[in-house]
Amino acid sequence: MSETGPRDQRSSGGRPPSPTPRRRVNRREQILRTAADVFAARGFNNTSLADIAATLDITPAGVLHHFGSKTELLTAVLELRDTDDPAPKGDQMLEHLVTTAARNSERPGTTRLYAVLSAESATADHPARAWFRERYAVLRQEVEEAVLDRIGPRYRDMASTPGPGGHTPARSAAAAILATMDGLQVQWLLDPDSVDMATVTELVTDALVTRLRAIGDQG
């Protein structure tokens, strides 16, 4: 009569089965996310590789194995935000900005990181200076195109014509929208209950679009 107890879980060769393989930890991504948190809390200049390594309980050499330098790590951290939050083109970009403002209120770490590093990059010789200059140049162009799409073809020529300072009305509107968003981030970080970033971003965007159309009608 056969036994009715638990069966011996062995392979056909008599060896016990191999344990379930553990999920490999993506160390590079772990370093990246941790560095983002530390940079947000302390800024780039006040953070060392040793600080980041200690948080992960590894050596600074372990960080350098994945990122060749602190500056390279900083660049990867900055690019992480864009990877996580790709932007659409054209008129939908304006809705995306409002959605982004709302999302930023749900991720204070990322919002603080951007606010701290963008302000810090204005100092001389900061390694993120070129990155932020390029980012703002691209964003101004993308938001300018979104504004031109939103106001419609009737007003496009007017809004695309450079004024006395060499800037088009649509480009100035784009700069104002971005300035609003960045300024709101600082206000919100200091006092989260003081502002609704999404509502104010939408209000300013709509006001600028209305203003550009009014200028076109006057001309």
pLDDT score for 162: 95
In the predicted structure, residue 25 carries a pLDDT above the cut 70: no
CA–CA separation, 157 vs 28, rounded Å?
Answer: 48
Distance CA 110, CA 58 (A): 24
Is the pTM above the cut of 0.85?
no
pLDDT at position 85 is 67
pLDDT at 19 exceeding the cut of 50? no
Q: What structural domains and CATH numbers belong to the chain?
A: 25-84 (1.10.10.60), 86-219 (no CATH)
**What's the CA gap between 93 and 91, in Å, rounded?**
5
What is 154-185 written as a DSSP string?
A: HHHHHHHS--TTS--HHHHHHHHHHHHHHHHH
The pLDDT of residue 90 is 83
Give the list of residues 6+ apart from residue 219 with CB closer than 8 angstroms, or none: 158
Mean of pLDDT values over 155-175: 95
Residue 107's identity, in one-letter code, is R
